[in-house]
Amino acid sequence: MTNKLAVAGPDSKWKLPEAEPAGFWPGFWHGLIAPIAFVVSLFNPHVRIYETNNNGGWYDFGFILGVSSSLGGGATVNVNKQEEEEERASDDSLAPEEE
């Protein structure tokens, strides 16, 4: 019986006979749910975070995008640092000129 939530593992729909390998979108989904799937996989041997029956690079690319999306990725900005730099720039423009 295949699992209903499309998680990776021995009972996944990608393990059925004549099933196509998992591609980009399943990889992205598995990446998004990886933190939760990891915790579940500690207690359930039928759940894994990564589908082994995949099409290679496109699945991996989707998985990496999904994981980076679910864990915050590298697109976060340190707002405090940005504000400090802006304050420094404005302070430098207000300083009196030395002769």
* pLDDT one-digit tens code per residue, 19-50: 899 999 999 999 999 999 999 999 988 888 99
Q: Which domain holds residue 76?
A: 13-94
Cα–Cα distance, 99 to 96 (Å, whole number): 10
- The answer to whether the beta carbons of residues 34 and 49 sit under 8 Å apart is yes
Give percent helix, percent strand, percent coil of the chain, each to the nearest 5.
Answer: 55, 5, 45
The per-residue pLDDT for range 49-95, each reduced to its tens digit, is 999 999 999 999 999 999 998 887 655 556 666 667 777 777 665 55
Q: What are phi and psi of 20, to 5 degrees?
A: -75, 150
4 domain residue, yes or no: no
User: What's this model's pTM, rounded to 2 decimal places?
Assistant: 0.69
Tell me the CA end-to-end span of the chain in Å, nearest whole number. Answer: 83
How many structural domains comprise the chain? 1
66 domain residue, yes or no: yes
